[in-house]
Amino acid sequence: MSSSADMDESHLLEICRRSVAGRLPSQAHPEDDEDLVRTGALDSMGWVDVLISVESATGLRDFGSDWPENRPKSIRELAEAIRAAHTGRTEQHAAERFATSAENGSEITIRGWGYALGSVTVDAEQIELDLHLAPHKIRDGAGIQSLRFADATEDELILGQKAAETALDTAGVDVEGVDFLLTTSTTFLRLPSFAASLHSRLLVQESCGAFEIGGACAGLIYSLAVAKSLLRTAPQGVALLVASEVHSRRLKHPGVLGEFRGLFGDGACALVLSSAAATNQERSLRLGDFVWGCSGHFASALTLNIDENSSLALQFKGEPLAHAAVVQTDRILEMLESKSGRPRAEVDYLALHQPNPRVVEMLAEKAQVPLEKIPLISRTCGNLGSATCGVSLCQALTDLCARQDPSRAPLIFLAAVAPGLIWGGTFLF
């Protein structure tokens, strides 16, 4: 895609010549001023393809969709139209950037959110029976009341699509306006990748990037970090993040312990980020700085391998893992206090990864934060992997919207830990 610095006349003409040449027989070399439709070199279908080709080459959305009836359909007029559209867009972006930085002091905001849960609810007692666990192991031991499972028609893509479309609706953004799709999923083990498959399913523009982000339970926070970097270079500045997990199928394997499997549910979350949302949305929350790292000391607390026979081999040391998660999450909160310049007592919500509700309760006690500030989705849905802290964030954002308290800017901390022990955090303000 051409940058603004390259937009001199000869370059524009060359872009247009290439776009036209792609639609003509190889021996045809039309003049720059030739009306390609009037002379019969192109039919109307060919002209539309030329417009689409120019759109791809320049990143100008809806290029030529309102081409005046009497305007010649020539290479030179195409170049002139690009120049005019580009000039208009540059001025608009400059105004948006100025407004954003002047009013908010940051470019990246959360503009929309949504989530989707597996449509089957199974209560803890049934899980204990199905997985041959001791009575109360899930309900009292882990604090889980129920799990949400995907039904036979649902998978990572279906749940991800639902969450994404809800988030786009909330943001008021058309799917064609998305520049970057960033996805994360631990349970989607197929090719084409989750990002590519979701890109197709959503019918986003072909020129929209599709990025697959790892990080397991910390995947959403890592996706936010990547999105923030990408949006600083995006022409239109909209990123769609989707985390989606269907554990109930992936973990349904003899090599996976019931006490581990019984902690996980199925669900997806999506966020829409924009670099210029503040011009339209006064209450958009800005994305703050990030902290991240990997503490290898705890690497063996949870391992999952797929061997050459496609069998899953799990190593799960529940208590050490829970202890490590609590300690590390508390450290992340300390770092976020430092990064944000505000103490945790001022935080409205904590959107955290939740291995299970008991671990969250332990964390709340250690970190001295009220449990009611943590949307505890794991109690009724289970651990949703990479989607956990995202669904928790969605609930917090929805609550904040309902509160509508303009007297002070809200503050949300996000923190997650994942096998490895990968960890990450950020804040919204």
Interface with other proteins (CB under 8 A), residue from 14, 49, 212, 330: 49
Binding string, 150-189, against other proteins, x = CB under 8 A?
Answer: ------------------------xxx-------------
Give min distance, CB of 154 to other proteins, in A.
14
Residue 411 has φ and ψ, to the nearest 5°, of: -140, 130
| 264 vs 387: CA distance, rounded Å | 11
Residue type, 249: R
- The residues, ordered by sequence, that sit 6+ positions from 132 with a Cβ below 8 Å of its Cβ are 258
Q: Which residue from 299, 325, 264 is spatially nearest to 142, judged by alpha carbons?
A: 264
Q: Is 17 in the site for other proteins (CB under 8 A)?
A: no
Q: Which residue in the set 22, 255, 343, 370 belongs to the binding site for other proteins (CB under 8 A)?
A: 22
Q: Which amino acid makes up residue 228?
A: K
SS (H, E, C) 32-58: CCCCCCCCCCCCHHHHHHHHHHHHHHH
Of 20-28, 130-138, 225-233, 247-255: span binding other proteins (CB under 8 A): 20-28
For other proteins, the binding residue among 5, 10, 26, 45 (CB under 8 A) is: 45
CB closer to other proteins out of 56 and 145? 56
Helices (DSSP H) in 105-145: which residue ranges? 124-130
| Residue 102 in contact with other proteins, rule: CB under 8 A | no
Looking at the chain, the number of H-run helices and the number of E-run strands are 13, 13
Q: Does 341 bind other proteins (CB under 8 A)?
A: no
| Contacts with other proteins, 118-157, as mask; x by CB under 8 A | ----------------------------------------
Residues between 357 and 396 with contacts to other proteins, criterion CB under 8 A: none
**E strands along 275-401, which residues?**
285-294, 302-306, 312-316, 349-352
Tokens 């670099």 belong to residue: 275
Rounded-to-integer distance, Cα 41 and Cα 37, Å? 6
203 binds other proteins (CB under 8 A): yes
Minimum distance from residue 157 beta carbon to other proteins (Å): 9
Place of tokens 């197929």: 190
Q: Which is nearer to other proteins, 18 or 403 (CB)?
A: 18
Q: Least separation, in Å, of the C-beta of 72 and other proteins? A: 12
Q: Applying CB under 8 A, does 35 fall inside the site for other proteins? A: no
What residues contact 296, with CB distance under 8 A and at least 6 apart? 420, 421
| Cα distances (Å, whole numbers) of residue 25 to 21, 29, 38, 288 | 8, 9, 17, 53
Alpha helix (H) ranges present in 271-385?
318-340, 357-367, 378-381
Site for other proteins in 61-90 (CB under 8 A): 64-69
Find the shortest distance in angstroms from Cβ 288 to other proteins: 33
Contact region with other proteins (CB under 8 A), list: 41-49, 131-139, 217-225, 386-394: 41-49
Report the residue number, 49 or 361, with the smaller CB distance to other proteins: 49
Quick one: tokens of 259? 């006490």
Q: How far is the CB of 53 from other proteins (least distance, A)?
A: 4
Q: Which residues bind other proteins (CB under 8 A)?
A: 19, 22-23, 25, 40-41, 43-53, 55-56, 64-69, 174-176, 192, 197, 200-203, 205-207
